[in-house]
Amino acid sequence: MIPIRRGARGFSRGSLAKEMRKTEKGKKYGGEQREERIRQIVAAAAALYDAQGYDAVTFSKIGREVDFSRINLYNYFRCKEDIFLLILQEDIGRMVEDARGSFTSPAESLDVFAAAWGAFLLRHQRMLALFSIVNTIILRGASDEAHEAFRAGIYRNFRQLGESVRIALPWMDETLSTAFVDFENSYAMTLYPASIEYKEAQHITIFSHAGYGTRCFLPQYVAYLKVILRGLQA
């Protein structure tokens, strides 16, 4: 074995090992600190969104909330859209966990399941609101890296939702449950932004007497779910 001698860095065998341990500890601490900073940034952006809406959220406002300069934020995120993809991903994850806790046994009937699924989905209105603009607004400014990570994440999440569907509806196989999640998601993303629930959450004036007016999300959505379910069961 070639002995380690003091050289330009001035490390003996023992001091080199000690320095390596310090370096690894520093890397770990730095990684943990970075993750904590990211959590703070995401939480601040989500709170601003809840209070002011998507368009009002800027890097400068987020920075003030976490005591960061706008420039420092670029060390963590390339753009506002990347932050919102992470917010949406976390909201979808919470929805999946809710589904696991809510659908733990076979449903009594299709009607009972449809009503329960509609009520479950409406518990996640921020997710519905952000998902409804993800393709038309958020992804237009997002980085490719964040976009790819988001797509991979929702693929996993939707498969997990399918597992909950199959517990509640044992007659479904994976193909049918995947189709159901795709269908119900597509309709929800179309219906929710036009609903009373969305407009109330976004502080949009509702003119119920004008034209078609604005209708509640749940009755329309549940009625559509029943059509989907009976079609898949046929």
Q: 3-12, 58-67, 126-135, 153-162: which has the minimum mean pLDDT?
A: 3-12
Give the pLDDT score at 132.
93
- Indicate if 61 and 124 belong to the same structural domain: no
Q: Is the pLDDT of residue 158 over 60?
A: yes
User: Mean pLDDT across the chain, nearest whole number?
Assistant: 87
Give the pLDDT score at 14.
47
Give the pLDDT score at 201.
86
- Indicate if 17 and 68 belong to the same structural domain: yes
- Indicate if 143 and 116 belong to the same structural domain: yes
Spell out the residues 6+ positions from residue 45 whose beta carbon is closer than 8 angstroms to its own: 57, 62, 80, 83, 84, 87
**Which residue is associated with the tokens 């709170």?**
47
Give the pLDDT score at 32.
86
- Indicate if 64 and 95 belong to the same structural domain: no
Question: d(Cα 196, Cα 208) in Å, to the nearest integer?
Answer: 9
- Residues spanned by the domain of 180: 79-233
- Indicate if 110 and 35 belong to the same structural domain: no
**Which residue is associated with the tokens 């989907």?**
228
Question: d(Cα 232, Cα 160) in Å, to the nearest integer?
Answer: 19
Q: What angle do CA 221, 222, 228 make, to 5 degrees?
A: 90
**Which residue is associated with the tokens 């994440």?**
153
Spell out the residues 6+ positions from residue 217 whose beta carbon is closer than 8 angstroms to its own: 122, 191, 192, 195, 196, 197, 198
Among 102, 100, 94, 93, which Cα is nearest to 120's? 102
Q: Is the pLDDT of residue 76 over 70?
A: yes
Burial 38-66 (b: 16+ CB within 10 A, else e): eebbbebbbebbeeeebeebebeebbeeb
Residue 212: band (very low, low, confident or very high) from pLDDT cuts 50, 70, 90: low
Q: 14-28, 32-46, 134-148, 207-221: which has the minimum mean pLDDT?
A: 14-28
pTM of the full structure: 0.82
Residue 70: band (very low, low, confident or very high) from pLDDT cuts 50, 70, 90: confident
Mean pLDDT of 196-204: 88
Among 68, 60, 13, which Cα is nearest to 40's? 68
For 19, the token pair is 């320095």
- Indicate if 46 and 116 belong to the same structural domain: no
Give the pLDDT score at 10.
39
Q: Is the pLDDT of residue 233 over 70?
A: yes
pLDDT per position as a tens digit, 83-97: 999 999 999 999 999
Spell out the residues 6+ positions from residue 6 whose beta carbon is closer than 8 angstroms to its own: 12
Give the pLDDT score at 30.
61
* Domain edge (last residue) among 77, 95, 114: 77
- CATH number, residue 220: 1.10.357.10
Give the pLDDT score at 1.
40
- Indicate if 69 and 151 belong to the same structural domain: no
Give the pLDDT score at 200.
87
CB atoms within 10 A of CB 24: 10
- Indicate if 10 and 69 belong to the same structural domain: yes
Give the pLDDT score at 213.
61
Q: Is the pLDDT of residue 187 over 50?
A: yes
- CATH number, residue 42: 1.10.10.60
Q: Are 79 and 136 in contact (CB under 8 A)?
A: no
- Indicate if 88 and 202 belong to the same structural domain: yes
Could you give the number of structural domains in the chain?
A: 2
- Indicate if 129 and 219 belong to the same structural domain: yes
Give the pLDDT score at 58.
95
Q: Note the Cα 62 to chain centre separation in Å.
A: 19
Q: Is the pLDDT of residue 210 over 80?
A: no
Question: d(Cα 230, Cα 44) in Å, to the nearest integer?
Answer: 43
Give the pLDDT score at 3.
39
